[in-house]
Amino acid sequence: MQPKIMMKKKSISASKASLVLFLCQMISALDVPLDLSQPPTITQQSPKDYIVDPRENIVIQCEAKGKPPPSFSWTRNGTHFDIDKDAQVTMKPNSGTLVINIMNGGKAEAYEGVYQCTARNERGAAISNNIVIRPSRSPLWTKEKLEPNQVREGDSLVLHCRPPVGLPPPIIFWMDNAFQRLPQSERVSQGLNGDLYFSNVQPEDTREDYICYARFNHTQTIQQKQPISVKVFSMDSLNDTIAANLSDTDIYGARPVTERQPVLLTPTGSTSTKVELRGNVLLLECIAAGLPTPVIRWIKEGGELPANRTFFENFKKTLKIIDVSEADSGNYKCIARNTLGSAHHVISVTVKAAPYWITAPRNLVLSPGEDGTLICRANGNPKPSISWLANGVPIAIAPEDPSRKVDGDTIIFSHVQERSSAVYQCNASNEYGYLLANAFVNVLAEPPRILTPANKLYQVIADSPALLDCAYFGSPKPEIEWFKGVKGSILRGSEYIFHDNGSLEIPVAQKDSTGTYTCVARNKLGKTQNEVQLEIKDPTVIIKQPEYKVIQRYGQVSFECVIKHDSTLLPTVIWLKDNDELPDDERFLVGKDNLTIMNVTDKDDGTYTCIVNTTLDSVSASAVLTVVARPNPPFDLELTGQLERSVELSWIPGDENNSPITNFVIEYEDGLHEPGVWHFQTEVPGTQTTVQLKLSPYVNYSFRVIAVNEIGRSQPSEPSEQYLTKSSNPDENPSNVQGIGSEPDNLVITWESLKGFQSNGPGLQYKVSWRQKDVDDEWTSVIVANVSKYIVSGTPTFVPYEIKVQALNDLGYAPEPSEVIGHSGEDLPMVAPGNVQVHVINSTLAKVHWDPVPLKTVRGHLQGYKVYYWKVQSLSRRSRRHVEKKILTFRGNKTFGMLPGLEPYSTYKLNVRVANGKGEGPASPDKVFRTPEGVPSSPSFLKITNPTLDSLTLEWGSPTHPNGVLTSYILKFQPINNTHELGPMVEIRIPANESSLILKNLNYSTRYKFYFNAQTSVGSGNQITEEAVTIMDEGKMAMASRQVDIATQGWFIGLMCAVALLILILLIVCFIRRNKGGKYPVKEKEDAHADPEIQPMKEDDGTFGEYSDAEDHKPLKKGSRTPSDRTVKKEDSDDSLVDYGEGVNGQFNEDGSFIGQYSGKKEKEPAEGNESSEAPSPVNAMNSFV
């Protein structure tokens, strides 16, 4: 939102500036046109205090206007200055400006003095200010002998400049012989009088070229004082010889450097006074000596320092208040403070004031017989006195005029006449200065005239003020009226403002303000008018402003500035960076509506402003670009407070690159053990620049610091200095100690070795100790080096051992280590589980039980028990397959387990073994068990062959997995008609030894669905399905067609409707042709009205020749059947197509018609020719359910 606010401010400022311009014209709107008689008016003059360059000609300006043109004269030091008698002085033609020729022999000093110009014509005389002419001076320094300054370290010192008095006063600065400015600080600074003050001197202040320079700007010259030498003595560096040469008076030099509380060097004393004039800059100064260097603070007693006008300079030693007023009078206190105390000084400030205008007199134009006043009011401190002059002469001795009366600061005129015309001067003066103003009284009788050009065009932005000018003159003063349009009425009301100078202001101009405006001026001597035009334009608006952007270094950024403007105005778009022109860099691309910066660098950071200017308005919008990057690396790493086990590290952060540093990462390098490898030490917040680091003995440390912000990590800093810690005995022992045997007669002890810096000293070794647990044995120990494993041989098999590993170096042992329990090596288990029992739960699941073996016989860590089982024989089949043993593992000390996935009606064997980490023990004796019968799998196939009019032949294969003794097969079948309805179900039981069956007495041309499965004594297995169709009897086709009532068929009804529509169309065509006299052929008529029911049948397929329905000719799919694992179930609705749902992919059109067809999976396609090769006609389809 900020850019919008900035944009509005710009627009308002432009409108205000326009308004102020017009209002300023009001003051001069009643100026008398130069073609009319008028007294002189001074238009230009030199300043009151005029300092001139003595090397150049002196030009004293005095310009005036009047009718008739005025003549000029001068006074010098109060007497007439006859320029004709001085060959060096000339006056410019038609001007009162004097030129004094200095460059051709004249001397500027000869023309010093007070000058005043008088411009005069027949209607009066105007005078200029008193102009004081003084040539500038830049004198040389007086020669002086400068003694070297010898001062003790810590003492204060003042180097005096004492520049020569010049006109104007010079600017003072201190430099050395190389013309380099001397550095200044809170300790060393220059005072307002030009002296150089040292609050306390330091050895680095010793030098021989302290030079004070005075620059005289008026003459562009610089004067140089002789160099001043300063030598600072430090008592630590004095030798006995120098001390012996010091006299008793120099005894201060023998004192040690001590701290001192502040003492003011300037101003002296506790109080002082200062007088300043209103409107000037108030400068107050306090400089103090002391060690440590004092700090200055300013307060105003009984009040606050003025906000927005108070500034501190010279390291707060100077208080600056600009544009002072009487309210700034008071007591100002400066306080100098250091750690030992404070000093203060009170400056009493009085603000006086030279005269300043309250109401300056203004020219007065009157017609004969009118009244008027001249008012001259001024203020000051002290209050100024007011005096009047008439035509340059004190009014008391000026010729009398009966029409005027002086009343203090006012002159009253009554019934003036033409002879009353004159120029009056008002002089307001006090001890600090004076004001002089000319104002004429011009008596004229003139009819109105309008000075604004006719038909002037004004263009204004909508919703801004419109000011229409009507500059006029007349005497008496004319009355002004405004009209809109040719026949418009006079303008009145609050929506208009009428100014005294004749201008019409429309505070908020709208689109309907456009038009012609007429200004009418009238007085008793006449009337005149003028027309001006006003056009209202749409404002310029930035509709898409630049937005705040954060971009990483070397990226690309774009600011948008899309504008909308009046079509008649031509906008120009300017981009600024930080209120200055864009850098001259090809990376900055200015487009029509945007600014793009390529390859952004840190210097591109700043505020970017889009300024849109037209001839009438200006708008702008700004956005800030923040360039972010990874931080610069820290620097100046320093180690302090070095101890055996800690050190303090400090650093200076690098530039954060506009993204705050979130944390610092400290890394270390061990130059003794791992040179070149840096390790993480610690991390601290981004506000911290020091850290206490814990150290290990016998490490040669170097540290570096990495700064981190949201963008990433900085480059590492330069390494710190190295710090080698002292050696010590180890602080810790190896970790992850373990004892595991690799063979039945050994114990392998392993551990993780200490890292280099963990050794704490040279000669790192390990003391390995062990003893058998729960046996009263002594510890056996061995010391090894550079290894992390030790093998103990000759141990008993799988017994527990107590183990410990202790670190040591040349300085001693680490603390006593903790003990761990390990075991010697394992061997294979000795015995097999006993009492193995099997409980058969069902035909596919059995549970096995066993007794656990004694733990001593396991000879290792018990892993669990493994059950090996395999099928020996299938009782329902004679064939034997490859024996595949299966293994189930039961973790821990379990004594039972479940055997899933067994095959029904089979013989199995199993055994059980115990396992440890070494392997498996011996197997238990094999246990034999049998699984009971189960339901069989589905028959392996079902084929339907040899279809006849009333019979079908079925062939099948036995189940792949009988899972028992087959007892029979179950066959179910039912007919399916063309509307997909199922007929009655028929069930047949078939002996198990059969593999085919002929079904007789079936309906001809009928589709049947078959369901077939096998049975054991346990139950029925899964079924398979198949479909087949009996063949068609062609001899009965005609009889079937006569038996069917086709009048009730939907296709026939639709056909009849189509024929009726066709006949109606033919009748209409016939009627039209008959009315036209045309002939209608009888043959065509008979053909068109042929009866579809007596059309001959096609002999080849038995269908109607021309009107058969194509949809009815589509044959059913061959040999389709439902999947073998699903059955047909008839739902409650007789019309449901899902009743045949085993593999039916039925779909419906949008009108609800069925577009699917029977489909099914089958193991093998039936032989070709099982179905009729002829597609059934609609009649045959209907007959299938008869």
Pick 1173 or 326 by higher pLDDT.
Answer: 326
What percent of the chain clears pLDDT 70, i.e. is strictly above it?
84
How many angstroms separate the CA atoms of 317 and 192, rounded? 10
pLDDT tens digits, one per residue of 193-211: 999 999 999 999 999 999 9
Is there a contact between 670 and 757 (Cβ–Cβ < 8 Å)? yes
Q: Using pLDDT thresholds of 50, 70 and 90, give the confidence band for residue 887.
A: very high
Report the relative pairing of strands 393-394 and 364-366 from DSSP bridges: unpaired
Give yes or no for residue 1033 having a pLDDT over 70: no
Res 489: pLDDT? 83
Give the distance, in angstroms, between the CA of residue 98 and the centroid of all CA atoms in the same chain: 67
How many angstroms separate the CA atoms of 132 and 334, rounded? 39
Res 1175: pLDDT? 37
pLDDT tens digits, one per residue of 603-646: 999 999 999 999 999 999 999 999 999 999 999 999 999 998 99
Is there a contact between 755 and 730 (Cβ–Cβ < 8 Å)? no
Q: Using pLDDT thresholds of 50, 70 and 90, give the confidence band for residue 245.
A: low
What percent of the chain clears pLDDT 90, i.e. is strictly above it?
70
pLDDT tens digits, one per residue of 707-737: 999 999 999 999 999 999 999 999 999 999 9
Residue 898's CB is within 10 A of a number of other CB atoms, namely 12
Tokens of 605: 């950071």
Q: Locate tokens 């209050």: which residue?
A: 383
Give yes or no for residue 1092 having a pLDDT over 60: no
With 0-12 / 13-18 / 19 or more C-beta atoms within 10 angstroms meaning exposed / middle / buried, residue 1054 is exposed
pLDDT tens digits, one per residue of 449-493: 999 999 999 999 999 999 999 999 999 999 999 999 877 788 988
pLDDT tens digits, one per residue of 69-104: 999 999 999 999 999 999 899 999 999 999 999 888
How many angstroms separate the CA atoms of 29 and 478, rounded? 12
Is there a contact between 814 and 730 (Cβ–Cβ < 8 Å)? yes
Res 390: pLDDT? 96
User: What is the residue-wise DSSP string for 210-239?
Assistant: EEEEEEETTTTEEEEPPPEEEEEE-TTT--
Res 1139: pLDDT? 35
What does the buried/exposed string (b/e) look like for 947-971 if buried means 16 or more CB atoms within 10 Å of the residue's CB? beeeebbbebebbebbbbebbbbbb
Is there a contact between 110 and 102 (Cβ–Cβ < 8 Å)? no
Res 138: pLDDT? 87
Hey, which residues does 335 pair with through a beta bridge?
A: 297, 344
pLDDT tens digits, one per residue of 509-554: 999 999 999 999 999 999 999 999 999 999 999 999 999 999 999 9
**Which phi and psi angles does 622 have, rounded to 5°?**
-125, 155
Is there a contact between 441 and 452 (Cβ–Cβ < 8 Å)? no
Give the distance, in angstroms, between the CA of residue 16 and the centroid of all CA atoms in the same chain: 36
Tokens of 172: 């003072």
Q: Using pLDDT thresholds of 50, 70 and 90, give the confidence band for residue 882.
A: low
pLDDT tens digits, one per residue of 734-747: 999 999 999 999 99
Residue 1145's CB is within 10 A of a number of other CB atoms, namely 9
Alpha-carbon distances, residue 1139 vs 970, 974, 1027, 1029 (angstroms): 21, 12, 14, 19
Give the distance, in angstroms, between the CA of residue 60 and the centroid of all CA atoms in the same chain: 63
Q: What count of Cα atoms within 13 Å lies in the side-chain half-sphere of residue 695?
A: 29
Q: Which among 740, 748, 742 has a CA at the least distance from the CA of 792?
A: 748
Torsion of CA 488, 492, 493, 495, to 10 degrees: 60
Alpha-carbon distances, residue 830 vs 533, 647, 835 (angstroms): 124, 63, 16
Q: Which among 446, 458, 447 has a CA at the least distance from the CA of 504?
A: 458
Q: Which among 1095, 1082, 994 has a CA at the least distance from the CA of 1041?
A: 1095
Q: Which among 348, 401, 399, 354 has a CA at the least distance from the CA of 374?
A: 401
Give yes or no for residue 261 having a pLDDT over 60: yes
Q: Which among 157, 166, 171 has a CA at the least distance from the CA of 212?
A: 171
Average pLDDT over residues 651-677: 94
Average pLDDT over residues 299-315: 94
How many angstroms separate the CA atoms of 1021 and 965, rounded? 12
Res 1045: pLDDT? 52
Average pLDDT over residues 146-170: 92
Alpha-carbon distances, residue 470 vs 26, 32, 175, 335, 630 (angstroms): 10, 15, 62, 62, 65
Residue 10's CB is within 10 A of a number of other CB atoms, namely 19
User: What is the residue-wise DSSP string for 587-611?
Assistant: TEEE-SSEEEE-S--GGG-EEEEEE
Res 142: pLDDT? 83
Torsion of CA 743, 744, 745, 750, to 10 degrees: 50
Give the SS3 label for residue 761.
coil
Q: Using pLDDT thresholds of 50, 70 and 90, give the confidence band for residue 979.
A: confident
pLDDT tens digits, one per residue of 914-957: 999 899 999 999 999 999 999 999 999 999 988 988 899 999 99
Give the SS3 label for residue 1034.
helix
Average pLDDT over residues 768-787: 92
Give yes or no for residue 391 having a pLDDT over 50: yes
**Which phi and psi angles does 916 have, rounded to 5°?**
-130, -165
Is there a contact between 1026 and 957 (Cβ–Cβ < 8 Å)? no
What's this model's pTM, rounded to 2 decimal places? 0.53
How many angstroms separate the CA atoms of 548 and 625, rounded? 6
How many angstroms separate the CA atoms of 569 and 949, rounded? 99
Q: Locate tokens 């500036």: which residue?
A: 17
How many angstroms separate the CA atoms of 459 and 614, rounded? 12
**Which phi and psi angles does 49 have, rounded to 5°?**
-105, 100
Is there a contact between 296 and 317 (Cβ–Cβ < 8 Å)? yes
Q: Where are the alpha helices (DSSP H) in 986-1119?
A: 1037-1043, 1050-1075, 1082-1088
Hey, which residues does 901 pair with through a beta bridge?
A: none
> How does the average pLDDT of the chain come out, rounded?
85
Give yes or no for residue 1046 having a pLDDT over 80: no
Q: Which among 721, 616, 547, 508 has a CA at the least distance from the CA of 10?
A: 616
Span of 172-176, 372-376, 808-812, 1066-1070 with lowest mean pLDDT = 1066-1070
Residue 784's CB is within 10 A of a number of other CB atoms, namely 14
Give yes or no for residue 26 having a pLDDT over 60: no
Is there a contact between 1146 and 1152 (Cβ–Cβ < 8 Å)? no
Amino acid 206 reads T
pLDDT tens digits, one per residue of 823-858: 999 999 999 999 999 999 999 999 999 999 998 999
Res 879: pLDDT? 52
